[in-house]
A and B are shown apart, each in its own frame.
Chain A
């Protein structure tokens, strides 16, 4: 039997001969994921852009897409009817994230049910196990999804509400908007933990953005480990490229990782960035660089 990721791969490729879902990620934060994602998207045709960095979505500061609708992102959390509950504690035992606490009744007091909805992973095990059917699932809002467009570019972005921690569930809902008739560019959160994995999984290719610093290299190595485990093809973009590039080049050569593009450490690019202007708009020759990168990715995937 084929592993699940293989089946997905076949389905994606069957449905669209020439369109790809490409995630832009990095181990280290602040290397230029959003810069690469936005400028890449603006250089291609037939694009959909998803901002999955739901804890700090900032792509639209640069894209300026007009938002046409905002959807609440909901998850299911348990609600316990204390008239039916006998404080047996089975729900608390089955909960892997300890989002329920049942304090049994004693001689002088009745039992107490405490829920911690922000810890809940919406698995539904408590509802399933409750012998008194005292638990029902209710909706809880964890964030919003903004949908819109900038010209022909379709846009969707997730925004996690303050105090919420279940970003993978919001990311999953943002990714439900993927339009397979488009080339989809997904801006990922930084790091190598659950939100990143949720974002990059089932994408056709991942662009890892790094910088030529020891921190950039260290976290690139971590991200490479994750992508190898997930069996997602990937390549590297060196941002703020300068005389220290050698450390990244050496690692990529050793590991046989393609370097897709180098973006120089350039005051002009930095100035545009600080004004919220994607640099391909003022330096159109970079569009050719991104188109060339896209062609290289397509060759890798063919």
Chain B
């Protein structure tokens, strides 16, 4: 299963980007195969609706869960409607966040 973590950089030792809609990169990580990729977020420069568009990008990548620091109403509504689980993290390196996710230590946004 693929999960998406919002990231400040393109590597697994980058820090989590606490913003969802305007994060720098999406790290798409496959929990089963450990394959991953960093996707640049082109929605940073939108004047509005960045949350909705970023949610769309995550959906298109096939992620089933998202980990970020903050989540606005529009992004939340879009992800929830698409059946994607949302988790919140206060920060840390991407690899640490993935470990926390695996150990079920992250707060889930219901």
Contact = CB atoms under 8 A, between A and B. Distances in A.
30 contacts: A92-B56, A95-B49, A97-B47, A97-B48, A97-B49, A98-B46, A98-B49, A98-B53, A99-B49, A99-B52, A101-B52, A101-B55, A101-B56, A101-B78, A103-B56, A103-B59, A103-B78, A103-B81, A103-B82, A109-B83, A112-B81, A114-B52, A114-B77, A114-B81, A116-B49, A116-B52, A116-B74, A116-B77, A119-B48, A119-B74
Interface of B: 46-50, 52-53, 55-56, 59, 74, 77-78, 81-83
A98 B52 contact: yes
Interface in A74-115: 92, 95, 97-99, 101, 103, 109, 112, 114
Nearest to A118: B74
A109 to B, nearest CB: 8
A25 to B, nearest CB: 23
Contacts, number: 37
A177 B15 CA distance: 54
B82 A98 contact: no
Contacts of A101: 52, 55-56, 78
B48 A98 contact: yes
Contacts of A103: 56, 59, 78, 81-82
Nearest to A113: B81
Contacts of B81: 103, 112, 114
B49 A119 contact: yes
B46 to A, nearest CB: 7
B96 to A, nearest CB: 31
A98 B81 CA distance: 16
A101 B54 CA distance: 11
Contacts of A114: 52, 77-78, 81
A97 B47 CA distance: 8
Given A114-B77, A116-B77, 4 more contacts: A97-B48, A98-B52, A101-B56, A116-B49
Nearest to B46: A98
A137 B2 CA distance: 38
A166 to B, nearest CB: 11
